[in-house]
Structure 1
Amino acid sequence: MTSHRRPSSPRLGLAALACGAGLALGGCHAERIVADSYPTTVAQRHPIVLAEGSTRLDLPVGAGAQGLTSRQKEDVRAFAADWRKNGRGPIGMMAPAGAFGATAVRSALASAGVPATQIVSQRYTPAGPEEIGLVKLGYVKLKAQVSHACGLWPDDLGSGGGDLYGATENREYWNFGCANQQNLAAQVADPEDIARPRAEAPIYAARRQTIIEKHREGGDTTTGYRQADAVVSDVAKE
């Protein structure tokens, strides 16, 4: 009786050979040899990007108000100063129909250095008769922010086995550094500094001339600073 054997597949033979080699090194492991690794640096995981934001100022002027209070005038001056520094476009103003305070707001903006051509106004009707009319000011500004929200936890750190490759490679977990990036973006004075460095300021010509003269005369070009010696006990007596 003749027995017939099924021809073995080349792929099965290679798989068995690979598994046999793995057993010799400690066992045939079914997991992925190379993990899908996320970026290892904070700047790559949580990049700071530039986006358009808005700044608003609501003034409870009221329909019958003829002017602004002292605090409202200060708010308008601060709002105008920030617009001159960070504004990207005109100032939008929405005033309730029949509000005399809109004229006072325009005057306050003009006195704060905002041209009349940079104010785009529009009227609106309050929702109810008892609702006080708000003069709403706003403009678009450039802001820096992280491209996504913080607090994302794709791996379970509590069980100790969620981030298998992170634990073995001693790498940072995904959310690490996101809050610091958000705080850094919020503290940047000029968001464009995130995109490119500023140009170098011109050198101090007067100091340069002084150094050149001292160098020509063979003198000492260093700067001498006077520092008064102070004793802690003498300071405590005062």
Structure 2
Amino acid sequence: MPRRSALALIPLGLAAVLCGCAGEPLPFDGTTYPQDYRVRHPILLSQQPARLAVIPRWAYGLDPRQADDVRAFGHAFRTETMGVIQVSVPVVAGRPTPLVKTNARAVRTALVGTGIDARNIRWSEYDATGLGPQSPLNLSFAKLTATVPHPCNDWPYDLAAGAGFESFQNEPYWNLGCASQTNLALQAADPLDLVRPRVEGPADTVKRVNDIQQLRTGNDPSTDYGPTAASASGS
């Protein structure tokens, strides 16, 4: 092909490339989202069930492992809720097996031993026909839980080499902060701590007065953790 003809085709090729780029759909529809990760991925409080399955495997009661599990479940119930604890017992032909009866009594004893009023233990039954002899006793209660309302798997933008112009906006990507918010919600011992701080305890009046006296005399009121102080405290 003559060089002049080839040069004449260059503008046509560029036009075709530009048309192709213009017709390519964007990876995201351009909808704006909050820049604050706490707004994009809020931590919400809700009532969620806490569950424990007790497998009846010992004929004379709970084995040590499951007895510890039930006691820990009972302590969690006392500290996390003021409602009732549900115990669902498996039955076959409308009746529980002797093994289930023995374990149910052991569960009740363990729960009452943690300080739970027996009137706050509600019993129910479920049909375990065909489920086998190891059908569990299901314990549950509702507790306040902190969670992020959506999973951390939404990536509307392509952060790799195929990213478009949105990567030049110098803004946080959508998924940023989702994992840290989820971990924070899971690590909170009391979900209410994420809503408001706890009430302050009384100040140490003796230490406060002593610190003021030290400042008035020109001394350092901070605690001395040096070797001299350590030897003096050990003597």
User: Is 1:76–2:75 an aligned residue pair?
Assistant: no
Equivalence for 1:206 = 206
Aligned counterparts of 2:130 and 2:59: Cα–Cα separation in 1: 18
Gaps of 5+ in 1: 1-29, 230-238
CA contact (8 A) 2:84 2:122 kept: yes
* Other-structure match for 1:61: 56
Q: Is 1:184 aligned to residue 184 of structure 2?
A: yes
- Report the equivalent of 1:172: 172
Structure 1 position 149 matched with structure 2 position 143: no
Quick check: which one's helix share is greater?
2
CA displacement at 1:78 relative to structure 2:
1.0
Tell me whether 1:48 sits opposite 2:43 in the alignment. Answer: yes
Q: 1:119 to 1:113 in 2, by over 3 A?
A: same
Q: Alpha-carbon deviations, 1:117-151, whole Å to 9, x = none? A: 22111122313273323111111111111122211
For the residues of structure 2 that align with 1:129 and 1:186, how far apart are their CA atoms?
A: 33
TM-score, length-scaled by structure 1: 0.71
Q: For 2:209 and 2:111, how far apart are their aligned partners in 1?
A: 45
Deviations 1:82-115 (A, max 9, x none): 1122235211111123232211110011111211
Name the residue aligned to 1:17: none
3-state SS of 2:227 partner? coil
Task: Assess, with a 3 A threshold, how the Cα gap between structure 1 residues 54 and 216 changes in structure 2: closer, same or farther.
Answer: same
Distance 2:215 2:156 in 1: 66
Matches within 5 A, 1:1-238: 36-61=31-56, 65-97=59-91, 98=96, 99-100=100-101, 101-128=103-130, 130-158=132-160, 160-162=162-164, 164=165, 166-211=166-211, 214=213, 218=217, 220=219, 222-228=221-227
CA contact (8 A) 1:91 1:120 kept: yes
Name which structure has the greater RCO, CA cutoff 8 Å, separation 6+.
2
- What is the CA–CA distance in structure 1 between the aligned matches of 2:225 and 2:67, rounded to whole Å? 46
The count of corresponding residues between Structure 1 and Structure 2 is 192
Q: Structure 1 CA distance, aligned partners of 2:76 and 2:174?
A: 36
Q: Looking at CA atoms only, which structure, 1 or 2, has the larger radius of gyration?
A: 1
- Specify the code of the residue in structure 1 equivalent to 2:47: E
Q: Given the superposition, is the C-alpha separation of residues 50 and 129 from structure 1 closer, same or farther in structure 2, using an over 3 Å criterion?
A: closer
2: CA distance, partners of 1:36 / 1:134: 49
Runs of 4+ in structure 1 off by over 6 angstroms are none
